[in-house]
Structure 1
Amino acid sequence: MNIGLIVIGDEILSGKRVDQHFPKVVQILAARGLQLSWAEYLGDEPERIAATLKRTFATHDIVFSCGGIGATPDDHTRQAAAAALGRPLVLHEEGRRNIEQRIVQMAREAGNEADLGAPENLQRLKMAEFAQGAELIPNPYNNVAGFALGTHYFVPGFPVMAWPMIEWVLDTHHADLFNRTPRAERAVLVYEAAESALTPLMVALESAWPGIKIFSLPSVGNATTRRHIELGVKGAPDQVAAAFDALCAGLDRLRAEYVRVQQ
């Protein structure tokens, strides 16, 4: 099962805000033995959001979408999700009740009486308008829910809301995918070598040990660091140890200069 992440917002693409979702989602997934398969960043363009979702809805991927589910004019994700599926937007009754309860709570905290018919409160209710058939994702921060359509999960852009909602989705709906088996990783720094010269060794290792993956991270170097490649193996612990020994033996045969990275 592939897992994807969509982060929506002009503020990310313009650089006004730095995305925090990508590294956190990677961390959340890793804690459950899962990993991200792909990620995309989109601006607040309804047509592009709808086209992207139409493409991802056609897959069996688990997709988390962060941002754009509010009720201001620059929030388009709810409408785009409905358009991508060809479904109408409808007011979710439980979602409406949640928002009304939030409005009442906020009024009491301010020492006022809630006017549910006030224009600003009617606007807030739009946050409970989802594509027909959507299910709610509880929001522990303010009880204004996100929504799910199949294996697509839509949460706010605010990290304090989005991250616990993503964890709830995983723990509630996808615990069967969790892999708590420990993973191992071993690496070396190979100096002044070309990746092309190391590729045959990498291919041979992956062929001999199907439970591991080879990774190669080149660095061009700078005034204080020599040009090098971080070359390593990761995967099942029982295979990583043997594959790493074979990696080092292969580098010795190539007379490559390398040092082992401390774990």
Structure 2
Amino acid sequence: MSNQVNTIGLIVIGDEILSGKRVDAHLPKVVQLLAARGLQLGWAEYIGDDPARITATLERTFASGDIVFSTGGIGATPDDHTRQAAAAALKRPLVLHPQGAENIRQRVLQVARDEGKEVDLNAPENLQRLKMAEFAEGAELIPNPYNNVAGFALGSHYFVPGFPVMAWPMIEWVLDTHYPHLFNRQARAERAVLVFDGAEAALTPLMEDIEATWPDVKVFSLPSVGDAQTRRHIELGVKGDPAQVAAAFVRLCEGLDAHRAEYEPIG
């Protein structure tokens, strides 16, 4: 789209997603957060807790120049590998981020105060927590409003926890802080019809012609095999720049008429 030259990607990390122990909620939420700002997700990937695969994926996505959000794996337990993989992908050392470490210490002290307990910041468990502030050299912090344990940014890659209550406001903060210049809050238009008993292959030239004529319009085709209640049909439509969608939709209907297709508008 002419108002969005940057491709935005999402990486969801965690064995629990691939095993089915948890159902991913990040993909639909990120789509929603982007849509509210007139943006669109370009791609998404799911990766298990495999250090080599995470590193290889990040090597590729760092090289792409895309804006990438990565959820999960930034904790300090043995199955958390994202911080280390990001450093390896960029061939940078892991270093303790001073402000990130201080945030963690303050969080530990606050929890102790709330519980009326004494705390030793040099206790092994608290030193272990500081590993959550070890990032690739040059990383910047992403504030975490839930517990102040920060995520981190490396270039146009943004790494947040797997917990939605933390991840989603952090992603919103990144978008609103770093990318408001990409926002296009103008309503995007979409027009579609149901084409009954048609073949996508026969309609492909029409779809290609529309996209070639209107560069800020995308054609979508969603076939359905039908069932006892509905006929076999294709949801065929155009979406994108409102100024171009109207004309593209007229061409779509004219093309369907030329094919003597049976169709009806949606909405």
Normalised TM-score (structure 2): 0.96
Distance 2:89 2:211 in 1: 40
**Which residue of the partner structure matches residue 176 of structure 2?**
171
Aligned to 1:255: 260
In the alignment, which residue of structure 1 is the partner of 2:124?
Answer: 119
2:243 counterpart letter in structure 1: D
Aligned to 1:60: 65
Identity %: 77
Q: C-alpha separation between the residues in 2 aligned to 1:233 and 1:29?
A: 20
2-side partners of 1:94 and 1:88: how far apart? 18
Name the amino acid aligned to 2:192.
Answer: A
Query: What residue in structure 1 maps to residue 3 of structure 2?
Result: none
Query: In structure 2, how many angstroms separate the alpha carbons of the residues matched to 1:211 and 1:83?
Result: 38
| Partner secondary structure for residue 146 of structure 2 | coil
Alpha-carbon shift at residue 36 of structure 1 (Å): 0.7
Is the partner of 1:37 in helix, strand or coil?
Answer: strand
1:30 corresponds to = 35
Deviations 1:209-234 (A, max 9, x none): 22211111111112222111100011
Counterpart check, 1:219 vs 2:224: yes
Letter in 2 for 1:252: D
CA RMSD across the alignment? 0.9
Give the CA deviation at 1:242. Answer: 1.7
* Aligned partner of 2:80 among 69, 75, 84: 75
Q: Which amino acid aligns with 1:153?
A: Y
1:45 aligned partner, one-letter code: D
1:48 equivalent in structure 2: 53
How far off its partner does 1:6 sit? Answer: 0.2
Asked if 1:7 corresponds to 2:15, the answer is no
Q: Does 1:188 align with 2:198?
A: no
Deviation at 1:174, TM superposition (A): 1.2
User: Displaced runs of 4+ in structure 1, greater than 4 A?
Assistant: none
Deviation at 1:120, TM superposition (A): 1.3
Q: Is 1:84 equivalent to 2:101 in the alignment?
A: no
Partner of residue 128, structure 1: 133
Cα separation, 1, equivalents of 2:210 and 2:59:
39
Q: Secondary structure at the match of 1:44?
A: coil
1:109 to 110, 114, 134: 114
Q: Residue type of the partner of 1:261?
A: I
2:134 corresponds to which letter in structure 1? E
Amino acid at match of 1:168: W
Residue by residue, what CA displacement relative to the aligned partner does 1:45-101 show, whole Å, maximum 9, x if unpaired? 000000100111112111100000001110000010011111111111100100000
Per-residue Cα deviation, 1:143-169 (whole angstroms, up to 9, x for no partner): 000000011100000001001100111
**Counterpart residue identity of residue 145, structure 1:** A
**Amino acid of the structure 2 residue aligned with 1:158:** F
**Residue type at the aligned position of 1:173:** H
Question: How many correspondences in the alignment?
Answer: 262
C-alpha distance in 2 between matches for 1:233 and 1:146 = 38
Give the deviation of 1:207 after TM superposition: 2.2
Long gaps (5+) in structure 2:
1-5
Residue of 20, 25, 28 corresponding to 2:25: 20
Letter in 2 for 1:245: V
Question: Residue 255 of structure 1 aligns to a residue in which SS?
Answer: coil
Q: Distance in 2 between matches of 1:105 and 1:137?
A: 20
The secondary structure found in structure 2 opposite 1:65 is strand
SS at match of 2:222: strand
Aligned partner of 2:155 among 147, 150, 159: 150
One-letter identity of the residue aligned with 1:157: G
Bigger mean CA offset, 233-242 vs 102-111: 233-242
Aligned-partner SS, 2:127: helix
